[in-house]
Amino acid sequence: MGAPTVSVIITTYNQATYIPATIVSVLDQTYRDFEIILVDDGSTDSTSHDIVPYRDRLTYIRQANRGVPAARNVGIRHANGRLLAFLDGDDLWEPTKLQKQVEAAEAHPNSGLIVADGVEFAPDAIVRDSLIGPSILSRLKDRDSITLRCYEELIRHNLIGTTSQVMVPRRVIDRVGLSDERFPVSSDWDLYLRIAASDDVTFLNQKLVRYRYLGTSASGPQLLRQFRWGLDVTRFLRKHVGLATPAAASLVRAELARHTRATAAAAYYYSMKTDHWWGRRYLFHLLVANPASLSVSAYLLAVCAPRFVTRRFGHVVRRVLGLE
């Protein structure tokens, strides 16, 4: 048999409760020319047992726990399809997801990303009724799809809620490279930026993905998720300052400064109210991620200083640094 058109790459870690339904949502696709590669990132639950009924319909790869980006890269290296579709081990696809994306990929051969819409759901409610950024969603109104260059928008915001929404031509991955394993929770955003720097992106106005909200996901509980993301995004934006063209580098620098400043402020106020020692450690790591940030230095000094010092001089420092 020849190579399949689509390689579906599922990554999972301790998601035994959900992985059978995830696999079934792929097997139920109306588009049939695909292979499934399931990468188990060192699960310690019953995942290997619970997938036994499906083992003859997928390629199962188990590795020591190395994180989502590393697991995704293993799947890519084993993939045979010319189109790659990614799926987290607790998410679900609607039956026409692959069909609609393959049609879009054929209609828009210059697109490096084909992005489906979807919803984020919890056990008892829909958490978000769209997984596409608002700036794109407004342009999708009354249209089946939109194809555009969105590199600058992607610098400012991740326009894609979950990797389970995307399909990428293999030739694009071969050109821009695999997921960067240094960024455990934002490697997908980093990959989208590298693609969007030179390729169109096609967004589909169809809810074809069900993104499951779990506090145990790679991003962590909602309360602390912003801080895991904040540190990771600071690191990858600093990387993109070096990757950007001269025309775009100033925008990346500005977004790096804005993002780092906002993350430092949130961490400072969280530490003052909740966990002082956590704040010191976090702001130190944030300063390492972006040593040029005066705002992080100021917040780190503030969190280490006695309270009477910050009460007396804090507003002066904030005014000098433009933090208020």
Q: What residue ranges define each of the domains in the chain, with the CATH number in brackets?
A: 6-212 (3.90.550.10), 222-320 (no CATH)
Spatial distance between the Cα atoms of 293 and 291, rounded to a whole number of angstroms: 6
pLDDT range class, residue 306, cuts 50, 70, 90? low
Q: Is the pLDDT of residue 155 over 90?
A: yes
**pLDDT mean over 45-68:** 97
Report the distance separating Cα 37 and Cα 7, nearest Å: 7
Q: What is the pTM of this model?
A: 0.90
Question: What's the pLDDT tens digit per position in 230-253?
Answer: 999 999 999 999 999 998 999 999
Strand, coil or helix: 205: strand
Report how far apart, in Å, the C-alpha atoms of 58 and of each of 10, 23, 91, 135 are. Answer: 10, 9, 17, 37
pLDDT level of residue 299 (50, 70, 90 thresholds): confident
Alpha helices, DSSP H, located in 9-156 = 19-27, 47-50, 68-78, 97-107, 134-140, 151-156
Angle between helices 187-196 and 68-78 (to 10 degrees): 50
- pLDDT tens across 312-321, in order? 444 444 454 4
Express each pLDDT in 22-40 by its tens digit: 999 999 999 999 999 999 9
User: In whole angstroms, what is the distance from residue 135 CA to residue 151 CA?
Assistant: 13
Average pLDDT, the chain: 91
Indicate the range of 84-98, 210-224, 265-279, 282-296 predicted with least confidence.
Answer: 210-224
Q: Which residues pair with 87 in a beta bridge?
A: 10
Whole-number pLDDT of residue 309: 45
pLDDT in tens, 258-290: 999 999 999 988 888 888 889 899 999 999 999
pLDDT classification of 322: cutoffs 50, 70, 90: low
Q: Please, is 17 exposed, middle or buried when counting C-beta atoms within 10 Å of its C-beta (0-12, 13-18, 19+)?
A: middle
Cβ 119 vs Cβ 128: under 8 Å: yes
